[in-house]
Amino acid sequence: MARRSKPSDPQALAQRRAERLATEAEIVRLKASGAVVKLDRARRIVSAFRASPFRKLRETNTITQGQGAAAERLCDDWAQWRGLDGKPERLPVRTGDSAAEIVTDRMLQAGRRVRRALDRVGPMDRDLLAALVAATVEEDRPIPWRDIVRRVCGIGQSVRQSQAVACALENLARAYQTH
């Protein structure tokens, strides 16, 4: 692999410096929005993704693998229900004056699965899970999960917040297992 020589042109140097600053600013912006950013050796962005709070709780062994799987299943169903899963239906579309939202059978079925799952847990767990999943799936810049727990449950201590989420996910996992 041939090495690139450093440019002696002042404009080229300024352009490289501007690109480097733009990349650094993008890295800061992505990290501020809660994304995990992977860089190569040259500090170029290779990938960026926002981990769900459920993944973070699973990585810290706060929740079990079964509880994490139940959360991911609920997130997948929620995304399908809202039409945010990136899998458009192949439908004949009529063009017209109105811009109505297309609701597919798959979205309706996913909405029923979400409603059944949330109906099988208690009202406090239902509110907490719905708020966490809605923030995870729908929000571009979700607020931290601890703030969601504080708002929904009124719990301020971090250990009790983790326990509240783990308890809600345990009830959700049981609901999925029984039906």
pLDDT tens-digit series, residues 9-61 = 888 888 989 999 999 999 888 887 667 789 999 888 888 877 788 888 888 89
For residue 45, give the nearest of 28, 69, 70 by alpha carbon.
28
Mean pLDDT of 156-165: 87
Query: What is the rounded distance in angstroms from the CA atom of residue 8 to the CA atom of residue 11?
Result: 9
What mean pLDDT is reported for the chain?
84
Report the percent of the chain where pLDDT is more than 70: 85
pLDDT greater than 80 at residue 151: yes
Which band of pLDDT confidence, cut at 50, 70 and 90, is reported for residue 7? low
73-115 pLDDT tens trace: 999 999 999 988 776 655 555 555 555 568 888 899 999 999 9
pLDDT score recorded for residue 172: 94
pLDDT score recorded for residue 179: 65
Mean pLDDT of 120-146: 88
Q: Name the residue with tokens 């079964």.
A: 66
b (16+ CB within 10 A) / e for 91-124: eeeeeeeeeeeeeeeebeebbebbeebbebbeee
* CA distances to 80, 99, 103, 155, 156 from 89, in Å: 11, 17, 10, 41, 43
pLDDT score recorded for residue 94: 53
